[in-house]
């Protein structure tokens, strides 16, 4: 069992003991998504693979929050934001905007990228380095600002 999955299970037990229903619901949702992926793929996920599942959940919550805000459903926005806080506990610490800019600058210098045709090459180089630690949308925007 991966360390991340073990941590999530321990947090679930703690939430049960403290009767924290909101945290318990969100943690069970995370575990359910991980187990569903394990069943679908017929493998036991390692930390990296489990993190991909959690990243997907974070993206889904952010999309839902945006859509609920547009629809004026503040009650649902609050639920999604509470879940997002709990889910983010399992994400690695996010890089600051300055750190993202520095990584983009280094990638541009390393590859000699000068135009939008090099966007795919830069993203291919940066994704393995920054995935999970930075919002790849922000990375993409930073690249566009530098080479356009």
Architecture of domain 97-147: Orthogonal Bundle (1.10)
Whole-number pLDDT of residue 79: 94
67, containing H or E segment: helix 47-70
Name the β-bridge partners of 140. Answer: none
**What is each CA distance from 19 to 11, 26, 54, 84, 98, in whole angstroms?**
12, 13, 23, 19, 40
Architecture of domain 3-88: Orthogonal Bundle (1.10)
Asked if residue 139 lies in contact with residue 100, where contact means CB atoms within 8 angstroms, the answer is yes
User: From CA 8, how far away is CA 115, in angstroms rounded?
Assistant: 43
- Tokens 């890089």, residue located: 95
Asked if residue 75 lies in contact with residue 82, where contact means CB atoms within 8 angstroms, the answer is no
- Within 13 Å and on the Cβ side, how many CA atoms surround 42? 0
- Tokens 């990243």, residue located: 55
Domain ranges of the chain: 3-88, 97-147
User: From CA 87, how far away is CA 64, in angstroms rounded?
Assistant: 14
Residue by residue, pLDDT tens for the chain (148 residues) are: 789 999 999 999 999 999 999 999 999 999 999 999 999 999 999 988 999 899 999 999 999 999 999 999 999 999 999 999 999 999 988 888 899 999 999 998 888 888 889 898 999 999 888 877 888 888 899 999 988 7
């Amino acid at each position: 069992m991966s360390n991340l999955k073990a941590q999530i299970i321990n947090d679930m037990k703690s939430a049960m003991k403290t009767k924290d229903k909101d945290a318990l619901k969100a943690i069970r949702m995370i575990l359910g998504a991980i187990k569903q992926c394990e069943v679908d793929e017929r493998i036991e996920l390692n930390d990296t693979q489990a993190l991909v599942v959690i990243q997907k959940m974070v993206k889904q919550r952010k999309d839902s929050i945006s859509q609920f805000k547009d629809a004026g459903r503040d009650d649902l926005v609050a639920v999604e934001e509470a879940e997002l806080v709990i889910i983010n506990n399992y994400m690695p610490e996010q890089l600051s905007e300055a750190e993202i800019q520095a990584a983009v600058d280094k990638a541009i210098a390393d590859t000699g990228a000068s135009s939008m045709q090099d966007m795919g090459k830069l993203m291919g180089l940066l994704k393995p380095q920054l995935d999970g630690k930075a919002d790849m949308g922000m990375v993409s925007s930073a690249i566009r600002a530098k080479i356009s």
